[in-house]
Amino acid sequence: MPVVKPATIRTMLTIATSHRWPTRQLDVSNAFLHGHLQEHVFYQQPPGFIDATCTNAVCLLDKLLYGLRQAPRAWFNRFATFVIGIGFMPMRSDSLLFVLCHGNNIAYLLLYIDDIVFTGSNTTLLQQIVDRLRREFAVKYLSELSFFLGIDVKCDATSFHLSQHRYAEDILDRAGMTNCKPATTPFDAKGKLSADGTKIDDAKAYRSLAGALQYLMITRLDLAFVVQQACLHMHDPRAPHQALLKRILWYIHGTSHLGLHLQASAELSVTAYSDADWEGCPDTQRSTSGFCVFLGDALVSWSSKRQPTVSRSSAEAEYRTVANAAAECIWLRQLLGELGCGISKATIACGDNVSAVYMSTNPVHHKRTTHIELDIHFVRERIQVGELRVLHVPTGEQYADVITKGLLTSTFEAFQTNLCVVPMATTP
């Protein structure tokens, strides 16, 4: 079964609050049991119900059961077939997002396994959708969107605030660190994490916690870089990696009240910030790429990832990141177009490396750039068709630094606010 992109969820909510649309949620009871089985599946007779006259016989499954590999796919096919039959269209940009156009009204429906979130321009149309779903599936109507995928959602007339406070507290409780001393930042500003060090005793616990932290990044961009660093060493965790994991948990303990603020915007323009930490890995000399994408005033997408190859200059590392950010922006523009919110203005991509900015517009190929020619052609093509503009910003305004390297506390906290990671109390 496909899984919805977190950026799709944030984009849909940003559009909803910008247009002052009501947002609703549903829960499908025993979702996988609604699917239709297409294959012949045999299973052993269950304990306690074995036919004494045919002990070697097997059963032919008539309906889907939880635990079958076919169940998620069959449920999605059943649901998609039904909603398409009542007028919805699946999006090419994300197959779990459906759009219904009914006259001058429009509705969006998002499916995540058995949870449904939908919004639209007309309350009557939303109620009609609920009624149709109730007649087809065992659906529980949960009214206003308030808790979805482990995320607490607080909404007012002009914004959504997404928080995973309860999930963060669960992680701290699992790690036995509910009473630890909080840290102001999740990573040392001068630190470089190496693969060297003494092996830890419980590598399984390390992997469990590091994996759990990945889900917390749905609303916490400020954790993207450090969690990425911790997960790079899940295969062979050492003492420094264990120390980093503890530092992350200390930071979470002091900031579990923070969440992502999605602010309504009068104009839904796309702006991206990209940055790279050249030779950030002391072992492989590979760089770390990071970008964040705003839809209006709301942060909807971000990424922090180690580059797959070694870059021979800082300009090359930065330009690869620009190309990654451009690809994400193109995807977002396509999604917005399918949602009826097409953008005519060019996307602004901001970077603090002058050489990378010049390379995006300079038609002359230099020897030092021929090995990244694919990325160069990709970005320049987007610039030529008017979809992208690459601009320079001072390092002090490069918000993507948060997801590529450790920062001083003052800089980290300033960027944190600019990136919409704020406590609920400070939201308007």
pLDDT reported for residue 426: 47
Confidence of residue 370 (pLDDT cuts 50, 70, 90): low
Mean pLDDT of 383-389: 89
Is residue 237 within 8 Å of residue 223, measured between CB atoms? no
pLDDT reported for residue 373: 65
Q: Angle at Cα 399 formed by Cα 393 and Cα 401, nearest 5°?
A: 100
Q: Does residue 176 come out as left (phi exceeding 0), alpha (psi in the -120 to 50 range) or beta? A: left
Fold of 266-393: Nucleotidyltransferase; domain 5 (3.30.420)
Is residue 340 within 8 Å of residue 308, measured between CB atoms? no
Q: Is the pLDDT of residue 125 over 90?
A: yes
**Model confidence over 4-61: pLDDT tens digits?**
899 999 999 999 999 999 999 999 998 888 888 888 888 888 888 888 888 889 988 8
Q: What SS3 state is found at 310? A: coil
CB neighbours of residue 425 within 10 Å:
7
Give CA–CA dist 130/363, Å, rounded: 54
Instruction: Give every CB contact of residue 119 below 8 A, 6+ residues apart in sequence.
Output: 12, 13, 15, 16, 21, 22, 23, 24, 107, 108, 126
pLDDT reported for residue 428: 43
| CA-based nearest residue to 228, from 251, 211, 243 | 211
Confidence of residue 312 (pLDDT cuts 50, 70, 90): confident
- pLDDT-wise least confident of 7-11, 194-198, 220-224: 194-198
Q: Is the pLDDT of residue 363 over 80?
A: no
Is residue 372 within 8 Å of residue 333, measured between CB atoms? no
Mean pLDDT of 385-395: 91
Q: Is the pLDDT of residue 368 over 60?
A: no
pLDDT reported for residue 216: 94
Instruction: Give every CB contact of residue 3 below 8 A, 6+ residues apart in sequence.
Output: 96, 112
pLDDT reported for residue 215: 94
Taking the model in full, what pTM does it have? 0.90
Confidence of residue 87 (pLDDT cuts 50, 70, 90): very high
| CA-based nearest residue to 328, from 303, 350, 359 | 303
Give percent above pLDDT 90 in the chain: 58
Confidence of residue 151 (pLDDT cuts 50, 70, 90): very high
Mean pLDDT of 230-236: 91
Instruction: Give every CB contact of residue 128 below 8 A, 6+ residues apart in sequence.
Output: none
Q: Which long-range contacts (CB under 8 A, 24 or more apart) does 67-72 make?
A: 68/32, 68/41, 70/35, 70/37, 70/38, 70/39, 70/41, 71/32, 71/35, 72/1, 72/32, 72/113
Q: What SS3 state is found at 5? A: coil
CA atoms within 13 A of residue 263's CA, in its CB half-sphere: 18
Give CA–CA dist 316/369, Å, rounded: 7
pLDDT reported for residue 83: 95
Give residue limits of the domains in the chain.
1-149, 165-248, 266-393
What stretch of H or E contains 44? Answer: strand 42-44
Mean pLDDT of 277-297: 92
Is residue 365 within 8 Å of residue 373, measured between CB atoms? yes
The full DSSP string for 364-395 is PPPGGGGGGHHHHHHHHHHHHTTSEEEEE--G
Q: Is the pLDDT of residue 406 over 80?
A: yes
Per-chain mean pLDDT for the chain: 89
- pLDDT-wise least confident of 146-160, 238-252, 289-303: 146-160
Instruction: Give every CB contact of residue 131 below 8 A, 6+ residues apart in sequence.
Output: none
CA distances from 7 to 52, 78, 200, 329, 335 (A): 55, 25, 35, 11, 10
